[in-house]
Structure 1
Amino acid sequence: MGKMTKKQHPYLYFDQNWVAYFRVQLQEDENLRREWQAYVAKADGLLENSFTDEVEADGVDSQHGKYGPPSEQVAKMGTMLGLVYQVTGQRHYAEKLKEALLHYSTYQKWHGKGLLKNDPPWHSELNTSRFCHGFAVGYDCIYELLSTEERETIRRSLLNLGVLPTLKDWVFADTRIHTLDSMGHNWWAVMIGLAGVGVLSVMEEEPEASVWLNEIIRIFPEYFLYKGSVLGSKSLNYDEAGAFYESLNYADYGLYEYLVFRLAYQHAFGYTDISDIPDLAKAGDFFLHTTYPASERPLTVNFGDGYMYTGAVHAAKMLLATGLDDPRLRWYLKEWQAEYGFYDFIQQDRIWQGESSPPSSAETSIIYEGIGWATMRDGWEKDGTLLAVKSGFTWNHCHADAGSFVLYHKGRPLLIDSGNCSYERPEYVDYYVQSEAHNVVLFNGEGQLRSDMPRGVKEPGHVYHLVDHAGLRYVYADATGPMSMHFSRNFRHFLWGDGVIVILDDIRAHEKGHLQWLLHFEGETCMVENGPLRITNGDASVIVKHLFPQQLTLKQKEGMADHAPDTKVTYLSYETCESVHEAKFITAVIPMEPEQPLPEVTALEGHEMLGVRIRSGGKQTDIYWNLRADGRVMHQNCIRKLNGWETDAYLIAVTRPEGADEDDWTNIERCFIGYGSVLRHSGHTLFASMSRATVCLELSAEEVSVSLQGQPCIRAEIRPAIMPQRSTAMGCAEVVSEDDGVIVIRQSTALATRRPG
C-alpha cells in the first residue's frame, strides 16, 4: 500500500477541486445538467424521510431482521445528500444527513439478532456493510459542518458498530469466523469491501486504520483467485475467463461493492493500475456475453438466482470508473439505459465520455469452463438469437440445473429458466432450485439430490469444446456427475447450424426407469403438422420437434412463474412410454424467421446410427450419430460406415449444396467432427489425427479453415479434394505445412491442466 498524503475532507471519492470542476461542467453540458437535476430531485425526496427506531429494526428474529430499510436509507443519504450538499452548498442537505448519522449512531448493533444464535455468533451481515458505506461517505462529505463531539460520535459508531465487527468476523486472524471456503461468494467481497471504505474514511483520525487497510489489500486477491475445494465441495469464485459462479446478479453485486472500495482506495492513494487482479479486466466480458440486446428491453441469461430483466450495470460502471477503458461496456450501459448515480457524476469522464461500440462479430460465443456456462448467438444486432447452456456447480445461489439451457429469439424469451423467488418463501427450496424447474432430463421424476443445494454437489457438471466456425456452433454438457445416483452417462450436445439447433441427449441409467425430458417456456403452445410443437411469445416463435425416441408421451406439468410463486404456469415433459435402461434423444429446435421458409428437418436412421437431415437456404447438412462410439465397445475402435463416411467419430455433420451427389465427397463445403480421429470416404482420408478431436472444417478452392480442439498436444492432417490458395487455423492451432495434398495442423497447449473432455 502506498502512503496517503494528509488530506482534508472530502477525499474519499472527490475533493474540492473536483467540486469546482463539476460546477463548471453543469454550466456547459445540458445533458449532464438534466441528469443532475433529476438526482437533486431524488435527494429532495430524502429530506422528507423519517428514521427507523431500533426496536422496529430489531423486530424480526433473523439474520437481517428489519435492518434493510434503515441501512439502505443511510447509504442513499450518505451519497445523495452528501454529494448534493457539496455541489450546491445548501446546508439543509447536510443537516438532514447529520441527523441521520447521529440517529443511527444510537443503535446498539447494525445486524439482525438472529446472527447471535449462530455457532459461533456473528456480528455483521449485509446491512452492516451498507451502514458502513453510508456512514463513511456521509462523514466524509459533511465533516466540516460537524462539531468535534459529533465527529467523535459518528466515527466511533462507524468503527464499533460496522467496521470492527466486520473485520473481527471476516478478517482478523484472532477472531475471524469466515473463510473463503465457508463464505467464498458475494458476501465476502461486500462485507470486506465496504468495511474498507469505512476504514479509508477515518484514515486521518484512527491510528490503527493503516494496519487494517493493509490486511484488506493483502487478502483481496485471494478472493478472486480462489479455485474451490474438493473436500469442502465448494466452487471456484471466478472462472479464468472472468465469470462469477453465483449468477450474473451476484456477479454485479459482489464486484460492484469491491470496486466501490477500490475506487476510494485509488482516489486516496493515487493508484490506478488494475493489473494486480487480472480477473477485473475480464469480468466485463461476462456481463456482455450474458446480455441479449432486444428492441423492447434487453434480457439477461438468468441461470441460478439471477433475474432476466436486470443487467450488471453497477459493476460495469465501476469497472470503467476504476480504469478499465472498454468501449463495449459503454455500449452495454446504453443498451440497459443505465441511470446516473453518485459515481456517474464523480467519474463521468471515465464512465460516459469515452468511445462506445458493441462487441465484434468475432465475439459471438464464449465458454466458461470453470463455472460450466456457455453462450452462443448469431450476432449482436437487436432481436437476434441467443442460446445459453449451463452445466456446472450446485450450491448456494447455483441451482440443480446441470445440462439446462435457455433460448431468446426475436426479442423474446422462448425456452426459459424458471428463475427464483424470495429466499424466505418455501417454494424457493421446494421448487425453483430443484431440477424439475429447469430444462433437464429426470429419471423416474427425480433430478439431482435435493441436498446438493445446501451442501454442495460432489461432482459438478461441465461444458466442453465450444465451436463457433463457418456458420456452425457446438458445445456439449456433461451432466453425469450431478445425476450420478441415476445415470452413468448424461451427455447433452448442442449443434446449431443452418437455422436449426439440434440437441442430442445420450442417457444411460444404472437400471431401467422412465425418462422425462423437460421443457420450460414462455408464451403459448400449439401442435403443428406432423406433430412438432410451436411456442409463440409475441412476435417470436420456435418449433420444437422430437425425432428420437419416436414414441414419447407429452405431459403438462404445473410450475411457478419467475419471481411470482403464487402464479402457476405450465411446463412440458416428454416422457418415454416404457421403462428403459438407456435412450438417445434427438430434438430439433427451430427459431422461426418471418418471411423465410422453415428449414426442412427429417430423421435419419441406420445400423448403429441415428441422424438428422437439414435442408435450408440451398444447403443440405447431414448429421450422423455413431452409436458404437458411446462407450459400448472396449479396446476395439468404434469405426462405422455412416452413409459412405467411414469414421470413429461420435458425431459428424457434413454440409453440401442441396441436390448435390451424396456419393461424391468432394462437393462438401463444411464438415464437423465431434470426438473423432479419422474421416474417410471412397478410400480417401479427409481428416486424421492420432487422438480424437473436435474439428470443424470449411472447404473451398480459395481457403481451408480449421477449428481444432482435443488433447493438449495434437497433430492432425487434412487432405482436401483441391489444395486451397491458403489454409488457416483458429485458436491455439497453427498450420505447420501444406505439401503434396496434405495440410498439417498442430496444437500444443502443454500447460493445460484440465482433462480435454
Structure 2
Amino acid sequence: MPFRFKVKTFGLILVVVIVLAAALISLAGYYSVYPKVLPDSRIVHADEEGLDIVVIHLSRSGWFDNYLPKVTVGEAAYRIYNSTHLVDEEGRYLKYVATGVVSVVEKSPYGLTFTIGGRGEPYDGYITFWGGVLSEEEVQSGSVEVTFERVVLWMPSRTFTVNLRVERIPEIESGRHPRVFYSEEDLSELKALVSGGSDNPMGVSLSEVFSQLRDMADGFLTESHFSVYGGRMTIYLPPNQPRRHTDNFPYWTGISRELQARLEVLAFMYLVTGDRAYAERAKAFMLYISNWNQWTDPDYRCAGPRTCLDIGHLSMGMALAYDWIYDTLDEAERFLVREALISKGIIPAYTEATEPGSWLQNPWRWPNGYAIVISGLGIASLVLLDEEPRAEVWLETAVNWTVRWLDRMGADGGYTEGHTYATYATDFTARFLYALLRDRSVNLFDHPYMRNVPYFALYSISPDGESIVNFEDASYGAVNDWKEPLAIAASLHGNRYAQWYLKRTGAYGSILRSHTYNTIYHFIGFNPEIEPLDPDGRLPPSRAFTSIGWAVFRTGWKENDTLFAFKCGPWGSHHHRDAADFVLNYQGIWLAAAPGYRLSTSTEAHNTLLIGGKGQGAADGRLIGFYNSSLVDYVGGDASETYGDGVTFIRQVLFVRPGLFIISDHVEAEGETSASWLLHAEPYSVIETSDAGSRITRRGKVLVIEMGSPQEVSVSTGRTEDLPYVRYDVGPSRRVRFLASLNPILAGEDEASVEMTFFEDCSSVNFTAPWGVGVAVFAEFLNHSTVSCWGLVSDGHVSGYIEKNGEMGYFLVNGSFLERDGQLLIRLDKYGYGAITVGSYKVVCEFSLKAAGWVGFYSPAEPIKVREGELEVPYIYDPASKVVRLVLEAGYHRLTVEFG
C-alpha cells in the first residue's frame, strides 16, 4: 500500500513537472513571437517643415497582452509622457496617437505603456507620432531602425527591431480654409444667422435652433459610446474601426452617419464659437478614423467592392471637419487626415466611378447610394483643391457624375425610390451643389430636376402636413426630411411655394426631428426672411411625375382637403411590386394606405390586383395618360408587363371633383384567370362590408366603397401584416372588369349614390352626390371605337357629364369627339383631353393636347370674345352647330368664352 501510494505521488509530480515545463516552453516560444509590424509602416519626412511623421502599423500575435514601454527611433528613445505626448531622455516632446489594437495603460513598474491587446477585436492598430525625430543623416539614409521594448506577463523585458523606410516629401501643402459653405469672410454672416430671433416670415428662431445644436455638441464632448440599429453594434469613442461581423448587415451605414454627425456638429460649433474644445474632440475622432484600414465595411456585400454609403458619409464628415477646424491642426495632423481622406475616401470612390461596368456608371441602379458616394467625393475633392494637384480631376469627375445622376432623375422632379430616399439623396446632392456654387460659382441648381423636385414634395404632402405619400420604401416621417433642396430653391430661385412647404412642416424650427447627420444644415442655404406663398388656389391642384409613373390629385392644400396618389412606373431600386397602386388621404387620414418601409413589398400588401392568385414581378409599369381640369382629373396606367406573358392589366382612375374617385380595371388573359381587387387601410381602421358595398372608418373619416363587375363578386376582409384590407374576388374568365367608386366623407355626412351598369362595349357610373349629379362612361375597348351610352357618343377612353351649381360640365379623356343628344360638345383633330363647363354667361374650356391642331367646342351663343388668361384668341363660330373653332399649340390651355 505505501509503495503504491509513492508510485501515484511520483506520477502526479511528474505530470505537474511536464505540464509546467510545457507551459514554460510554450511561453518562451510565444515570447519570441513579436507583434507584427505591417508593411505600410513608414516615416514621412517633410523637408520644408523639418517634420517627421512616424506611422507604425501593428497587428497582435498570441493571447497575451504585449506592453511596449519604450520606442527607440534611430538614436532617440521615447516613453509615454501623458495621453497626448511622448518624451525622450533629453526632455523633447512629440505628439502621438494610438488607435485600434494599441491602447495606453499603466503597467508597473514601467508607468504608461503602449499595449497591444491579446484577445478580441480589433486585430491591428497604429502608433503614430510626429515632430523633429530624425537627424539629417537618418533622413538621407532612406531607412531607420525602430526598436521596441516589449514586456509579456511578469517576464523581463526584451526588444525587437524593425527597419522603417523614410519617405521624403518637399513640404506639407496648405490651403485656403474654411471654404465649404462659408469662407473666412462669411463667418460674420454665419454668426449673425445663428443669433437671429423669430421675427421673420417663417417664425423660426435660429438662435433657439443653434442652442439645441450646441446642447447636442456638448453631449458629443463627453459621450463614451453610441449604438446603432437598436443596440446591435456599439462604437466606443474615439472610434476604432468597427468589429468584424458575419451577418451581412449594413452596420457601417448607421455608424458612418453617426460619426459624420459628430464630426460636422463639433466642427461647425468650433467654426461659430471658436471654442477649441469642440475642435479637439473632432480632431480626436478624425485621427482615429484616419487610422481605419478602409472606410467601407469589409463584411457587407454592397453594390461595389470599394464603396457603399459609409464611404460617402465618412468622406463628407471628415472633409468638412478638416475644412472647419483646419487652423487647429498642426502640419502632421493635416497630413494624416488628408492622406486618409485621399486614400480611403476619394481614391476608392473615384476608381469605382471611372471603372467601366461598375455600379457608379449607372445612376438608376441604386440612385441614393450613387448620390451619397458621389457627393462625398465632390465635397472631399473641393476641400483639397489648393493642396492636392489631383483634386481638380476628382472634382470634375464628381461634377460630371452628378450631372449624370440629375439627368437620370426626373426632369419633372420625380424621384424613383420614394420620399425617404428622395430626401436622403437629394439633400446630399444639394449640399455638394451648394458648396460648388459658393466656392466655384458653378450653378447646377438650374438643372430641371433641382428646379422641379420641390413640387414632388409639395404635391405629396398630406392635407394636414403631418405625413407624405409613402410609395416604395418610404415612411410618413419623410415629410420632415425635405430641407436643403427646398430651402435653396426658395433662396436661389425665389420659389416661395417651397418656402411654404418648409413652414408647413416646421422642418427648420427644431433639430429634434432631424437625423443627427442633417442637423447642421439648418444653417446652410436657408433664408428665414423669404415670405412663404400658399399654393392653395395658385398652383394646379394635380400633377403628374411621368418620369417615375406617379400622379397626384388634390382638392387643395388645406387641412380639410383630399389627396389621391397613383403610381405605375418603371421598376427600380427600393421598389415594391405594386404597379397601379394608389393611396388616398382625406383630411389627414390615410383611408387607402400603402405599407411604406416597415412592411411587405409584395403585391398582396398593396392596393392593386392579384391575377390568378399571384402578384407582380420586377418589371416596368407605365402611365398611359394624365389630365387635370377643374371638372375631372384622370390618370391611366398599364401594369401588364408586371404579370408576365399573356396578361393585360389597364387601370384608369377618374376623379370627379370634389369627392368621387372612380377606378376602372381591364384585365385580359390568354386563358381563364381569377382576379382579386385589394384596398388596404391604416392600422386600427374599422372595415365593414355588405352587399351594398364597404366602408372604412378611422378617426371620424369614412371611405365609402362601391364595387361592380359583370361577373359575380365575393367580398372578404383580412390583414396583411398590420394593415387591414377589403378584398373583392371574381372567378376565372378571359376578361375581367372591376369598376369601383371611392367616396371619402366625414362620419354622418351624406354619401354619393352610385349605380354601375355594364354593356357590351362600355360600362357606366351614374352618380348623385350632394355637390352634383352626372355620369361617367368607360369604353370597354381602348381602341377609340365609337361608344354610345346614356345619350353620349364618343371615341374617348372615358367621357361623361356633370351638373352642379347650375352649370353643365362635359369631359373627354383620350378621344377626338364628344356629343350629347346630337349636339357636338368637344371636337379635336388629334386625340387629346378636354372639359367644358357651360354657364349662363360664359363657357370655360380646359384642353390638354399632345400636338398642335384645331379644337372645337360648344357655345350656346356667339362669343363676345375668347381669351386665354388675359390674351384674346382668334376663333371661328358656327351659329348652326353652335361650335367655336380655333387652333391651339400642344400643351395645356384654359380658355374663357364670354357670350352674355
**TM-score (ref. length: structure 1):** 0.84
Provide the identity percentage.
21
Counterpart of 1:582? 735
Counterpart of 1:356? 532
Counterpart of 1:564? none
The partner residue of 1:286 within 456, 470, 473 is 456
Answer yes or no: is the 8 Å Cα contact 1:492–1:505 preserved in 2. yes
Helix, strand or coil at the partner of 2:493: coil
Counterpart of 1:709? 848
Matches within 5 A, 1:618-629: 619-627=772-780, 629=781
- For 1:711 and 1:96, how far apart are their aligned partners in 2? 61
- Residue 682 of structure 2 corresponds to residue 542 of structure 1: no
Helix, strand or coil at the partner of 1:285: helix
Counterpart of 2:578? 401
The partner residue of 1:11 within 157, 169, 179 is 179
The partner residue of 2:360 within 178, 183, 186 is 178
- For 1:657 and 1:537, how far apart are their aligned partners in 2? 29
Counterpart of 1:36? 210
- For 1:405 and 1:734, how far apart are their aligned partners in 2? 39
Change (3 A) 1:69 1:630: closer
Change (3 A) 1:448 1:18: same
Counterpart of 1:686? 825
Counterpart of 1:217? 399
1:318 CA drift (Å): 5.4
Counterpart of 2:147? none
1:602 CA drift (Å): 2.2
Answer yes or no: is the 8 Å Cα contact 1:393–1:461 preserved in 2. yes
- Residue 788 of structure 2 corresponds to residue 641 of structure 1: yes
- Residue 677 of structure 2 corresponds to residue 494 of structure 1: no
Counterpart of 1:742? 883
Helix, strand or coil at the partner of 2:813: strand
Helix, strand or coil at the partner of 1:67: helix
AA aligned to 1:222 is R
Change (3 A) 1:331 1:318: closer
Helix, strand or coil at the partner of 1:219: helix
- For 2:715 and 2:652, how far apart are their aligned partners in 1? 20
AA aligned to 1:402 is A
1:691 CA drift (Å): 4.0
Helix, strand or coil at the partner of 1:191: helix
Change (3 A) 1:675 1:65: closer
Answer yes or no: is the 8 Å Cα contact 2:700–2:747 preserved in 1. no
Change (3 A) 1:693 1:210: closer
Aligned length: 687
Change (3 A) 1:265 1:59: same
Deviations 1:580-605 (A, max 9, x none): 11122111101013664222222345
Helix, strand or coil at the partner of 1:42: helix
- For 1:583 and 1:147, how far apart are their aligned partners in 2? 75
Change (3 A) 1:318 1:337: closer
Counterpart of 2:47? none
Change (3 A) 1:177 1:590: closer
Answer yes or no: is the 8 Å Cα contact 1:491–1:506 preserved in 2. yes
Answer yes or no: is the 8 Å Cα contact 1:59–1:66 preserved in 2. no
Structure index of larger Rg = 2
Counterpart of 1:239? 410
Matches within 5 A, 1:60-459: 60-61=245-246, 65-114=250-299, 122-170=305-353, 172-173=354-355, 178-180=360-362, 183=365, 185-226=367-408, 238-271=409-442, 274-275=445-446, 277-294=447-464, 298-311=466-479, 312-317=481-486, 319-320=488-489, 323-338=492-507, 339-340=510-511, 341-347=519-525, 350-361=526-537, 362-421=539-598, 432-449=600-617, 452=618, 457=619
Matches within 5 A, 1:514-663: 514-522=674-682, 523-527=684-688, 531-549=692-710, 551-561=712-722, 569-576=723-730, 578-593=731-746, 596-605=749-758, 608-617=761-770, 619-627=772-780, 629-631=781-783, 638-656=785-803
In terms of mean alpha carbon deviation, does 440-449 or 12-21 score higher?
A: 12-21
1:651 CA drift (Å): 2.3
AA aligned to 1:497 is R
1:505 CA drift (Å): 1.1
In terms of mean alpha carbon deviation, does 397-406 or 372-381 score higher?
A: 397-406
Deviations 1:180-203 (A, max 9, x none): 267351221211111111111122
Deviations 1:401-447 (A, max 9, x none): 111100000211110112233xxxxxx7xxx2221121111112112
1:525 CA drift (Å): 2.9
Helix, strand or coil at the partner of 2:835: strand
- For 2:736 and 2:250, how far apart are their aligned partners in 1? 50
AA aligned to 2:672 is K
Helix, strand or coil at the partner of 2:478: coil
1:493 CA drift (Å): 2.9
- For 1:676 and 1:414, how far apart are their aligned partners in 2? 32
- For 2:834 and 2:461, how far apart are their aligned partners in 1? 28
1:668 CA drift (Å): 6.6
Answer yes or no: is the 8 Å Cα contact 2:824–2:883 preserved in 1. no
Counterpart of 2:639? 479
Helix, strand or coil at the partner of 2:385: coil
Answer yes or no: is the 8 Å Cα contact 1:668–1:699 preserved in 2. yes
Answer yes or no: is the 8 Å Cα contact 1:678–1:687 preserved in 2. yes
Answer yes or no: is the 8 Å Cα contact 1:488–1:510 preserved in 2. no
Counterpart of 1:3? none
Answer yes or no: is the 8 Å Cα contact 1:168–1:176 preserved in 2. no
- For 1:73 and 1:697, how far apart are their aligned partners in 2? 56
- For 2:486 and 2:842, how far apart are their aligned partners in 1? 42
AA aligned to 1:538 is R
- For 2:838 and 2:608, how far apart are their aligned partners in 1? 36
Counterpart of 1:424? none
In terms of mean alpha carbon deviation, does 25-34 or 722-731 score higher?
A: 722-731
Deviations 1:466-492 (A, max 9, x none): 233233222222222323435234233
Note the residue ranges of structure 1 that are not aligned, 5 or more in a row: 1-5, 227-237, 422-427, 562-568, 632-636, 659-666, 751-757
Answer yes or no: is the 8 Å Cα contact 2:426–2:485 preserved in 1. no
- For 2:799 and 2:264, how far apart are their aligned partners in 1? 59
- For 2:601 and 2:831, how far apart are their aligned partners in 1? 36
Deviations 1:95-126 (A, max 9, x none): 111111111111101111135x789x611211
1:71 CA drift (Å): 1.6
1:728 CA drift (Å): 5.2
Change (3 A) 1:500 1:677: same
1:528 CA drift (Å): 6.6
Change (3 A) 1:583 1:67: closer
Answer yes or no: is the 8 Å Cα contact 2:827–2:855 preserved in 1. yes
- For 1:531 and 1:83, how far apart are their aligned partners in 2? 62
Answer yes or no: is the 8 Å Cα contact 2:266–2:278 preserved in 1. yes
AA aligned to 1:742 is V
Helix, strand or coil at the partner of 1:352: coil
AA aligned to 2:815 is G
Change (3 A) 1:638 1:313: closer
Answer yes or no: is the 8 Å Cα contact 2:490–2:530 preserved in 1. no
